[in-house]
Chain A
Amino acid sequence: MSCGDGHCITCSDEGTPMRVVAVDARRDLALCEDGDGARSSVEIALVLPVAAADVLLVHAGTALARIEAAA
């Protein structure tokens, strides 16, 4: 099992920047897309509020932080 370009989330503890495509606010889930275009459902309860086009740092299917530009 290989991890392409550091964006593979089969590596159990790898953080992946993902862009929000759509938000399901009722269930605290968002459909997100990684840098290679692969999509998956992400838990967003820890980083609410979330809007489409936000970039989130995702670990094991859960967003831990919103990635913001360096000050």
Chain B
Amino acid sequence: MTMRFVDEFRDAELGRTLAREIRDTVDPGRHVKIMEVCGGHTHSIYKYGVDDLLPANVELVHGPGCPVCVIPMGRVDDAIAMAHEPGVIFTCFGDMMRVPGSRGSLLEAKAAGADVRMVYSPLDALRIAKQEPEREVVFFAIGFETTAPSTALTLKRARAEGVPNFSVFCNHVTIVPPLRALLDSPDLRLDGFVGPGHVSTVVGARPLEFIAADYGKPVVVSGFEPVDILQSVLMILTQLRDGRCEVENQYKRVVPYEGNLRALEVMAEVFALRPHFEWRGLGFISQSGLRLSDDYAPLDAERRFAVPGVRIADPKACQCGEVLKGVIKPWECKVFGTACTPERPIGTCMVSSEGACAAYYNYGRFAREREVV
């Protein structure tokens, strides 16, 4: 079945034309590093081989925008502890089931007898709670501002419908604080950003203006099809050539500059900012995570169940942190494709299909030669 607004953005001839324009626009004497913030972009880039169309001096660096990849091990341990509570049905998205904690994953907890179920949306989790009123149903909420509205609406629905056996283990995060942390990081030099398209449908493009205003880097909010990404890269290179730095919106067919005000209102009602939240590989970042607001505290799984709440250091061999910051490429990690594979992941970047390592691995991009320094 064809889908309008999708197929035309996978047009190969248009892609080749854009690639030619990119070669004509970039300064041949300059190595340009562009970070794609969102895991969805990373997935698309490797699925369609977008980077193969770029000249050697235009490098795409993968950012921290995969919600699965940034979950620290301690939170997975907390999730597993809840899943083992008597009477609990623990629900989560498919990818989260395979993320390793310090003593296994939710999938392994399921094998050991915990009732862990994969759902497609928080609404599915609420439906289970209504179907099984004698059980406690917990939803493992993860994601940026793209999935947070979905969790918020489900919580509002749960309260309105009076579903007492439903609660949420909230791990939602926000995109701007980690971007600021990356821009402040001394070991990273970036020339521009492919901005997160779907996060921007919610928050709008305005919250990204600080990247241009405070750090002097161009930002182009981009769609996810290969033609979208190539066009966004071209727009960034054009800004650099013309000596401009501003926020542009390539994804106007979906993203209004002001975002979705109704979504922001619902999120403001249901969530409150945590003082700080731990990100895998990036450490604690101030005001980067969401908890349930005091109004919704009775639906907060962290208040309903006792969890270990212990911080667990990332495995020593794993270099997800450097991959998430774009300091190294996935294939430069010591365990990439050997000890760490999508079947037996050590790090989160190898778990989610949006993770940079899994994207490289799944699309046959693990045979590249390592750069010799």
Contact surface of A with B, Cβ cutoff 8 Å: 1-3, 6, 9-15, 17, 19, 35-37, 40-41, 43, 45-47, 55, 57, 59-62, 64-65, 67-71
B281 at the interface (CB under 8 A from A): no
Q: Is the CB of A65 within 8 A of B255?
A: yes
Contact surface of B with A, Cβ cutoff 8 Å: 1-6, 39-40, 43-44, 47, 66-68, 93-96, 118, 120-124, 142-144, 146-147, 149-151, 153-154, 197-198, 201-202, 224, 252-256, 260, 262-263, 266, 352-354
**A residues less than 8 Å from B147 (CB atoms):** 12-13, 59-60, 62
Q: Is the CB of A12 within 8 A of B153?
A: no
Given contacts A12-B68, A43-B153, contact A6 B44 (CB under 8 A): yes
* 7 contacts across the A-B interface (CB closer than 8 A): A13-B144, A35-B3, A45-B153, A61-B122, A67-B253, A67-B254, A69-B5
Q: Is the CB of B354 within 8 A of A13?
A: yes
Q: A13-B146, A17-B5, A64-B260 are in contact. List 8 more A-B contacts (CB 8 A).
A: A12-B94, A12-B142, A15-B201, A35-B2, A60-B93, A62-B153, A64-B198, A65-B201
B96: contacting residue among A3, A12, A14, A35, CB under 8 A: A12
Report the minimal beta-carbon distance from B324 to chain A, rounded to whole angstroms. 15
B6: contacting residue among A1, A11, A17, A71, CB under 8 A: A17
Q: Is the CB of A6 within 8 A of B43?
A: yes
Q: Is the CB of B201 within 8 A of A57?
A: yes
Residue of B nearest to A61 (CB): B121
**B residues less than 8 Å from A13 (CB atoms):** 39-40, 66-68, 142-144, 146-147, 198, 354
Q: Is the CB of B68 within 8 A of A43?
A: no
Q: Is the CB of B118 within 8 A of A10?
A: yes
**A residues less than 8 Å from B1 (CB atoms):** 35-37
Residue of A nearest to B97 (CB): A1
A1 to B146, CA, bound (A): 22
Residue of A nearest to B123 (CB): A61
A35 to B40, CA, bound (A): 17
A59 to B146, CA, bound (A): 6
**A residues less than 8 Å from B262 (CB atoms):** 45-46
**A residues less than 8 Å from B149 (CB atoms):** 46, 59, 62, 64
